[in-house]
Amino acid sequence: MYIGLFDALPLLRDPMLLVVISLFSFLPVIFIFVFADQASAVQSLIGAIVLTFSFTGLFASQSVYFNKQWFRFQDMFVASRVSPASYALGLSLSGLVVALPGVVVAMVLLLLSKSATAAGVLLLLGTSVLLWIGLVFVGFAIGATTKNARRANSIPQVLSIALGFLPPVYYPLERLHDIPIAQAVAMLIPTTHAAQLAKYYFGLISIPAWQVWVGWIYLLSFAALMGFLASRRAHWVDP
């Protein structure tokens, strides 16, 4: 908790920057709300929540890099009793603090749309948190392994586009039915499964039961695999 608050302190001191970053995921929602119907707008709100959690996990890589290579804060944590898992979780919590305003706004809009249920909200948060855990490990591995400031800043941005704006997160997966290759590629992306499960539990789409199980197994496997790779590739102490 203290690591998260410490990392979020610069943004908390600048409320306007906090609003801009927290609402970054909601820019496509505005266009979809204006140019599409209400069902599409509700789907885009769910996608915005999923991507908000995703971005907070990915962009933890920047904090990991700068704390390790520039400010040397990580050396103090290594010398203390802080574990790598606690450190990564703390940095990710700072991202959740920053993203909290946007998530609250989306939740309020979903409740006003009268399509949200208690079970749907809990399962939406469950899929988002599970995806967030996997991408936390990805961000930690990127920040701990790179030694170039440009890569630490550019890689999360490229991944955020590849994981967030290109797959069917804001828009329905059915739009890709006429392009089988694109649909197959989309099903390999974890944000697609998180968004599909969330839309399914909100009653916005209908998918077979086996796809629901595949989605949960995929997200669990993704989180476990990224955790394993981060533990093997990310160096808590430089050799």
> Which residue, 3, 191, 190, 194, is CA-closest to 89?
3
* Burial of 197 per CB tally in 10 Å (0-12, 13-18, 19+): buried
Average pLDDT over residues 104-123: 79
With a cut of 70, say whether residue 121 has pLDDT above it. yes
Confidence of residue 17 (pLDDT cuts 50, 70, 90): low
- pLDDT over 90 (residue 18): no
Of the candidates 142, 134, 164, the residue with the CA atom closest to the CA atom of residue 52: 164
pTM as predicted: 0.85
Domain range annotation of the chain: 2-233
- Give 175-213 pLDDT, tens digit per residue: 888 888 888 888 999 999 999 999 898 888 888 999 899
Q: Choose between 7 and 188: higher pLDDT.
A: 188
Instruction: State the pLDDT confidence band at 165, using cuts at 50, 70 and 90.
Output: confident
